[in-house]
Amino acid sequence: MDQGLFEHMISGCTLLEQLILMNFDGFTVVNINAPNLRFFSIGGVFDDVSFRDTSLAIVFIGLSVKIGYDQNLTLGDTCNLVKFFSQLPSIQRLEYLAVGHIPGKLSSPCMELNYLSIRINFNDKDENLAALCLLRSSPNLQELEILALPEEDMSPERVENIWLEDYHNCPFNQLRLVQVADIVGVQCEMNVIYFLLANSPVLERMIVRPAFNSMRCELLKELELFPRASVRAEIIFLDP
């Protein structure tokens, strides 16, 4: 299906409320015009996605870099997340595959966003910066899920301190539940947990699922020493 036919089909479905696009062919620029659309999920190889006249509240984004493209190609360049969020002022739930360059903070915060799920390679500096940007731009988060991706090539620049630089200027005054999964105990992962515990004054539960059961005791000992902004915050460990 080519782009024109796809856009004509979508715009003609005036009652469309849910749309899922996975591994599609024929076009790489996705333009969505659907006034009643509430749920949108996209995954695969694409260059850009934009919205016009939608009521989206739930979004999932996954990007695959094209074979043969410059390996420095990033989601920040290809999908322009600044534009993406400006088109979705009422988004409430977002699942995001974190890749690429985006600013330290979005120009307009995502005030309606209350759920965020991020998949991230903690050894990649750009992915850490992208995740930090989304968190800084989501002051009303109530639930956060962070899934660690399998370790890939190490970034040439160290990433351990990204989460601890000026970390006090990022309060999450409504965040009550955090889930962190598949971590292996590298310093950057621990710094993310430190960052969240220190900035979440109403946090109730931090659920941690390590990648391997053998590191459970060691992780628990270290996390118990971290300061917590919330006196009610409980750290719960789950089996891998």
- pTM for the structure as a whole: 0.76
Tell me the pLDDT of the chain (240 aa) as tens digits: 888 899 999 999 989 999 998 888 888 788 889 999 988 988 777 777 778 888 888 887 765 443 333 333 333 343 455 566 666 666 777 776 655 555 667 777 888 889 988 888 888 887 888 888 888 888 999 999 999 987 655 444 566 678 887 667 789 999 999 999 999 888 889 999 999 999 999 999 999 999 988 777 888 889 989 999 999 999 999 988
Q: How many CB atoms lie within 10 A of CB 48?
A: 14
Distance CA 175, CA 117 (A): 13
Sheet holding 205-210, edge to edge: 18-22, 39-44, 58-63, 93-97, 115-120, 143-148, 177-183, 205-210, 234-237
CA distance from start to end of the chain: 41
